[in-house]
Amino acid sequence: MGIVLGDNQYGKAETRVVWVIRDGPRHDLRDLNVSISLTGDLAATHLTGDNAQVLPTDSQKNTVYAFAKRHGVDQIEDFGLLLARHFVTSQPSITRARVDIEQYAWQRLGPHSFQRAGAEVRTASVTVDGDATRVVSGLTGLVLLNSTDSEFAGFVRDPYTTLPEAHDRILATAVDARWRHAGPVGAGPAADGTGGWADSHNRVRAALVAGFVETYSRSLQQTLYAMGERVLRECAGIVEIRLSLPNKHHLLVDLTPFGLDNPGEVFVATDRPYGLIEGMVRRDDAPTAKGAS
Amino acid sequence: MGIVLGDNQYGKAETRVVWVIRDGPRHDLRDLNVSISLTGDLAATHLTGDNAQVLPTDSQKNTVYAFAKRHGVDQIEDFGLLLARHFVTSQPSITRARVDIEQYAWQRLGPHSFQRAGAEVRTASVTVDGDATRVVSGLTGLVLLNSTDSEFAGFVRDPYTTLPEAHDRILATAVDARWRHAGPVGAGPAADGTGGWADSHNRVRAALVAGFVETYSRSLQQTLYAMGERVLRECAGIVEIRLSLPNKHHLLVDLTPFGLDNPGEVFVATDRPYGLIEGMVRRDDAPTAKGAS
Amino acid sequence: MGIVLGDNQYGKAETRVVWVIRDGPRHDLRDLNVSISLTGDLAATHLTGDNAQVLPTDSQKNTVYAFAKRHGVDQIEDFGLLLARHFVTSQPSITRARVDIEQYAWQRLGPHSFQRAGAEVRTASVTVDGDATRVVSGLTGLVLLNSTDSEFAGFVRDPYTTLPEAHDRILATAVDARWRHAGPVGAGPAADGTGGWADSHNRVRAALVAGFVETYSRSLQQTLYAMGERVLRECAGIVEIRLSLPNKHHLLVDLTPFGLDNPGEVFVATDRPYGLIEGMVRRDDAPTAKGAS
Amino acid sequence: MGIVLGDNQYGKAETRVVWVIRDGPRHDLRDLNVSISLTGDLAATHLTGDNAQVLPTDSQKNTVYAFAKRHGVDQIEDFGLLLARHFVTSQPSITRARVDIEQYAWQRLGPHSFQRAGAEVRTASVTVDGDATRVVSGLTGLVLLNSTDSEFAGFVRDPYTTLPEAHDRILATAVDARWRHAGPVGAGPAADGTGGWADSHNRVRAALVAGFVETYSRSLQQTLYAMGERVLRECAGIVEIRLSLPNKHHLLVDLTPFGLDNPGEVFVATDRPYGLIEGMVRRDDAPTAKGAS
């Protein structure tokens, strides 16, 4: 019985790069947080401290900056692909590279002036593993609330159940979504042939929001499925979507001690604990992808 | 030489209340974080644990909920005034009440559907001290960036100065602003007679943004003064504004080791350290207000 | 081609429970954060909003409280097992339960007085999946630093490499470790027959710390492996350990502009970006465990 | 009626410096977060962008690093005094400098190995204003809990009071304390002549803890006063202490629906809202200090 090195990876996390496009009086900008993780023949550094196969994480950071200048940043999926392919092709010891990118949105105020646009973040996770390429697009921090058309009833009542049925409640969540694209991914338009990554992102986002807004909800699970199903129905290029939806509970306050009724008006917004509803919706003919989460 | 109790205050902090206005098919909502702090004849509880003058912080929390139902929440300045006056007038031992309110913005998606609108927060600090009333309105979390029209040069060079002059840099900050209103504050329109607290807030905010966007900046101090000066110039009802502006440094990356120039394109967004520029702009005939910060 | 529900789970996250043991004048306490995630036949609620198979997350929270009273909390691994088995055995629709527990440490100050003991957190992840049971113990937030005996040299130099070799540097990390136990897990002493979960935890922790302190480090990967290898060598009951080690960079400040040398004395502690080194060390005869991360 | 610049200040915030003392095989270290704020004749930069009186915040950061090397860091109060005096004496336009320092504790593991010791932070705020010097020492993040010997009863019952009296409750808080020293402050031993800043800090901290642990509490206010009074009684060199104590509520869970009693055993640890109790305890012959908070 021996002791051995198992799965391992390393890289530079959270390189914050801002790229300003200044090819005219009207600037634009991209604001990214890039995390890189490399896998390969890395036993030597673990076992003996021999770093002959180790590209410093500092060099990975420099690569992010240099690629932003050399190639620009249009869509984060493409920028992630460029970076991931670079590490796998240029480093003999590296067989797999994963690049996770967060993009922070800015709203234009003027030719060279911008305002940070909220807490919503667009994401991409790109993995190049030998010849295989996977792109998972996503978003986080999209906080949605319906003030009615939500109930929760007919549930299991076990000996620890005290929750009353709710026939009109607030439903609120912070959407964390990640979706896989169909077919081979190219640097051009999106896999569904419509308009590339940005258009794909916008259409998925719109379907998620519409699914939340337009669903009369009997459970957050039902809303989750409705959101995911709508994305797949409306976006032909998407084969699978994973949703993680915290149930941000808003509890109705009992105002009867103060001689007041409270017909769905005054709520406490709670922090913890919270429900957490997680699920995947997919096409039944889509190949499952390991590691695409 | 004895040991005595000095200044003291107590209250319930961070009561999170959401009020849904559902008087028709089209709902609206207010999402607040309310903190209360009371001052008065509170020596007994400190010295002997006699709580006969102590209104529990739990009761203060209940008051926030009950007042949301009973009076509704239109403008946070008015809601703060209602609460602060309530504690001073109903509690014989309390001479001073301060109510701090944060309001989180939601953007409408449908008749009863909403999306959290970013990290920007509207604030109000209301103090009722005997007969005196002070209202300080504000905002935090407004992140602004100019990608050019900012320089920093001609500064002091002491033995510890290595900073090169910058003739074209990114200027970015997260605005934290608090402003005082002229004259006696009423529950109706704002002190400047135009349109109440909401209108006043919108006009101050617009002046802050315009001051940031339209100023060619030789220092963040200059931008700060321009923002404050513009608020006072455009909003007659405001007599004083305090601004706290972190200089969110974006450092130009040296790409020459990689054979690349970098004419203001690729930047590192840094977290710490950061410059912090704080200043007040006021009318020269405005009475100074202690404790209005 | 149809659209179908894929993997899904739900539960109550972050139930904060404090249990005070007061069977005499000398109290003790357990301070836990419990997250539950249930999997099973949950299609109906997703597809139609029929909640007849859904145990409310509120009931799960209540179960945590009631079990703390009924069974007490000695070791978090055992408490997790109790909870996970309860949901799988009492809920016909639930086939798999995962319970993640964080335990916050308190240091005794008196018979009934305590001080929170730092940011280090003990963790347990317990999964009951039909008849199979998995326990993964762990810790997070253990921040370690060596001020010497660390170097980083002999690494790959690609066109984006500017990092100088470091022959004497600070090595600092925040240990995040998770380890699997050998054999069938019982409620009594730990699988290695020595002294139960607490003893096992203490010995793993000591091995991790000793591995960090006593390794002359040529890379954080080498230190990672030394830490894991030491755990497996010294703790017979552990078959696998996963370590996630951020490289909390401390950069030597260039003081030459000020006429000062800096032989490893003055450093900047940086926040981002950071290296992230992740790896597993295991016994070569240990069965791999899916989902044990 | 004109618009004028009011109070203003600027500086570099959160410079993170680690100083390693390596004058032998047994190293030691200081881990600081230094924030500087300068006041003086700074109208020009605000009004016209003329920076001829502005020492860059980057230079302030460099000064922190260079002073750490040149003077070392023994006690943070002394390091703050060195820095504050430097800016006031070397910069003709600067009349007032405030230096706030946080010190993070590390526990020794070996000759050059350390472990971060919890969330407690030692603080110093040093202000040099012309010839006047003020030093305020402090600590934050000291989390304390008594599992009994705390009650809250006999309080005001207004129409919004529903809180039952508690005759045996958990009392928990996170101590934030700041204290002023008597007499002129020198670089040597502390003002009370005993053993310098470190000894003073240790004795104040011990008195705070003892005051919390040994007080039978009828209100957190009573505990606050007991803690402050004990500091002044036991530490002759301290003239005033300010305490800010959040009441970290632990609510007793109602287990009767599950057929269980709960005699002070199972509690929910809540996040928000929380009580906030703030007060000062001082010697009656101490001069009050403006701006010493």
pLDDT at D70: 98
Q: Which domain holds residue C271?
A: 138-293
For the cut 90, the answer to whether the pLDDT of residue A259 exceeds it is: yes
Q: Choose among B16, B48, B51: nearest Cβ to D153.
A: B51
User: Does residue A7 belong to any structural domain of this protein?
Assistant: yes
In a shared domain, residues A204 and A276? yes
- C-alpha to C-alpha distance for C29 and D149, rounded to whole angstroms: 15
Q: What is the band of A288 on the pLDDT scale with cuts at 50, 70, 90?
A: low
Chain B residues within an 8 Å CB radius of D232 = 3
Span A1-59, pLDDT tens digits: 699 999 999 999 999 999 999 989 999 999 999 999 999 999 999 999 999 999 999 99
Residues 153-212 of B with CB under 8 A from A: 170, 209, 212
In a shared domain, residues B280 and B151? yes
Q: Choose among C65, C214, C265: nearest Cβ to D266.
A: C65
In a shared domain, residues B153 and B248? yes
User: Does residue A248 belong to any structural domain of this protein?
Assistant: yes
- C-alpha to C-alpha distance for B65 and A253, rounded to whole angstroms: 7
SS3 B68: helix
Instruction: Decide if A251 touches B, using CB distance below 8 A.
Output: no
Out of D27, D45, D57, D140, the active site residue is D57
Q: Which of C105, C130, C155 is the last residue of a domain?
A: C130
SS3 D177: strand
Out of C12, C61, C181, C201, the active site residue is C12
Are the Cβ atoms of D10 and B56 closer than 8 angstroms? no
Q: Choose among D5, D12, D274: nearest Cβ to B13.
A: D274
Residue B179, beta-bridge partner list: B137, B241
SS3 D7: strand
Are the Cβ atoms of D152 and B56 closer than 8 angstroms? yes
Instruction: Decide if C258 touches B, using CB distance below 8 A.
Output: yes
C-alpha A9 chain-centroid distance = 21
In a shared domain, residues A111 and A210? no
What is the CATH classification number for the domain harbouring C89? 3.10.270.10
Q: Are B57 and B15 in contact (CB under 8 A)?
A: no
Instruction: Decide if D272 touches A, using CB distance below 8 A.
Output: yes
pLDDT at D187: 44
Are the Cβ atoms of B160 and C272 closer than 8 angstroms? no
State the nearest Cα–Cα gap between B153 and chain A, in angstroms: 21
Q: Are A146 and A152 in contact (CB under 8 A)?
A: no
Select the residue from A253, A272, A274 to test the D interface by mutation, using most D Cβ atoms within 10 A: A272
Chains touching C (at least 3 CB pairs under 8 A) are A, B, D
In a shared domain, residues A122 and A170? no
pLDDT at C194: 56
Q: Are A92 and A104 in contact (CB under 8 A)?
A: no
In a shared domain, residues C124 and C212? no
Q: Are B262 and B255 in contact (CB under 8 A)?
A: yes
Share of chain A above pLDDT 90, in %: 90
In a shared domain, residues B262 and B158? yes
- In tens digits, chain D (293 residues) has pLDDT values of 699 999 999 999 999 999 999 989 999 999 999 999 999 999 999 999 999 999 999 999 999 999 999 999 999 999 999 999 999 999 999 999 999 999 999 999 999 999 999 889 999 999 999 999 999 999 999 999 999 999 999 999 999 999 999 999 999 999 999 999 986 554 445 454 556 999 999 999 999 999 999 999 999 999 999 999 999 999 999 999 999 999 999 999 999 999 999 999 999 999 999 999 999 999 998 776 654 44
Residue A48 sits at φ, ψ, to 5 deg, of -130, -5
Chain B residues within an 8 Å CB radius of D222 = 45-49
In a shared domain, residues A199 and A67? no
State the nearest Cα–Cα gap between B49 and chain D, in angstroms: 5
Select the residue from C258, C260, C266, C274 to test the B interface by mutation, using most B Cβ atoms within 10 A: C258
pLDDT at B182: 87
pLDDT at D285: 87
Chain A residues within an 8 Å CB radius of B206 = none
Instruction: Decide if B258 touches C, using CB distance below 8 A.
Output: yes
Q: Choose among B46, B277, B279: nearest Cβ to D225.
A: B46
For the cut 50, the answer to whether the pLDDT of residue C241 exceeds it is: yes
State the nearest Cα–Cα gap between C251 and chain A, in angstroms: 12
For the cut 50, the answer to whether the pLDDT of residue C186 exceeds it is: no
Chains touching B (at least 3 CB pairs under 8 A) are A, C, D
pLDDT at B194: 56
Chain C residues within an 8 Å CB radius of D27 = 147-148
In a shared domain, residues C196 and C274? yes
For the cut 70, the answer to whether the pLDDT of residue B293 exceeds it is: no
SS3 A203: helix
From residue D202, alpha-carbon distances to B138, D17, D33, D138, D181 in Å are 40, 23, 20, 11, 14
Residues 229-248 of A with CB under 8 A from C: 229, 232-233, 240, 242, 246-247
Contacts 24+ apart (CB under 8 A), C188-195: C190/C237, C191/C237, C192/C235, C192/C236, C192/C237, C192/C238, C193/C237, C194/C237
Out of C27, C45, C57, C140, the active site residue is C57
Q: What is the mean pLDDT of residues C85-102?
A: 98
Q: What is the band of C118 on the pLDDT scale with cuts at 50, 70, 90?
A: confident
In a shared domain, residues D143 and D103? no
Residue C12 designated active-site = yes
Residues in CB range of B96: below 8 A, 6 or more apart: B9, B38, B39, B40, B88, B127, B128, B129, B130
For the cut 70, the answer to whether the pLDDT of residue B188 exceeds it is: no
State the nearest Cα–Cα gap between C123 and chain B, in angstroms: 30
Torsion of the alpha carbons at D3, D4, D7 and D9, rounded to the nearest 10: 110
pLDDT at C190: 47
Number of separate domains in chain C: 2
Residue D123 designated active-site = no
The Cβ-side half-sphere exposure at D247, using a 13 Å CA radius, reads: 29
Instruction: Decide if C278 touches A, using CB distance below 8 A.
Output: yes
Share of chain A above pLDDT 70, in %: 93
Instruction: Decide if D117 touches C, using CB distance below 8 A.
Output: yes
In a shared domain, residues A4 and A92? yes
State the nearest Cα–Cα gap between B212 and chain A, in angstroms: 9
Are the Cβ atoms of C275 and A49 closer than 8 angstroms? no
According to DSSP, residue B196 is labeled: H
Residues 25-84 of D with CB under 8 A from B: 35, 37, 42, 45-63, 66
Are the Cβ atoms of A3 and C56 closer than 8 angstroms? no
Chains touching D (at least 3 CB pairs under 8 A) are A, B, C
Q: How many CB pairs under 8 A join C and D?
A: 170
Which residue's structure tokens are 């992010």? A64
Lowest mean pLDDT among A99-103, A115-119, A179-183, B27-31: A179-183
Chain D residues within an 8 Å CB radius of B277 = 8, 10
State the nearest Cα–Cα gap between C2 and chain A, in angstroms: 5
Chain A residue nearest residue B66, CA to CA: A255
Chain A residue nearest residue D159, CA to CA: A258
Q: Which of B130, B159, B190 is the last residue of a domain?
A: B130
Are the Cβ atoms of D260 and C209 closer than 8 angstroms? no
Instruction: Decide if C112 touches D, using CB distance below 8 A.
Output: yes
Are the Cβ atoms of B69 and A265 closer than 8 angstroms? yes
Lowest mean pLDDT among A123-137, B62-76, B180-194, D134-148: B180-194
Q: How many CB pairs under 8 A join A and C?
A: 268
At A223, list the tokens.
């809303």
Q: State chain B's mean pLDDT as an integer.
A: 94
pLDDT at C293: 41
Residue B22 sits at φ, ψ, to 5 deg, of -130, 55
For the cut 80, the answer to whether the pLDDT of residue B288 exceeds it is: no
Are the Cβ atoms of B162 and C257 closer than 8 angstroms? yes
Torsion of the alpha carbons at B215, B216, B221 and B226, rounded to the nearest 10: -20
Q: Which of D130, D163, D189 is the last residue of a domain?
A: D130
pLDDT at C182: 87
DSSP D241-293: EEEEEEE--EEEP--GGGT---SS-EEEEP-SSEEEEEEEEEETTSPP-TT--
Are the Cβ atoms of D118 and C117 closer than 8 angstroms? yes
Are the Cβ atoms of C159 and B258 closer than 8 angstroms? yes
Lowest mean pLDDT among A191-200, C265-274, D129-138, D279-288: A191-200
In a shared domain, residues D26 and D116? yes
Q: State chain C's mean pLDDT as an integer.
A: 94
- C-alpha to C-alpha distance for C35 and D161, rounded to whole angstroms: 33
At A22, list the tokens.
């200044």
Alpha-helical segments (H) within C54-195? 57-71, 76-90
Chain D residues within an 8 Å CB radius of A266 = none
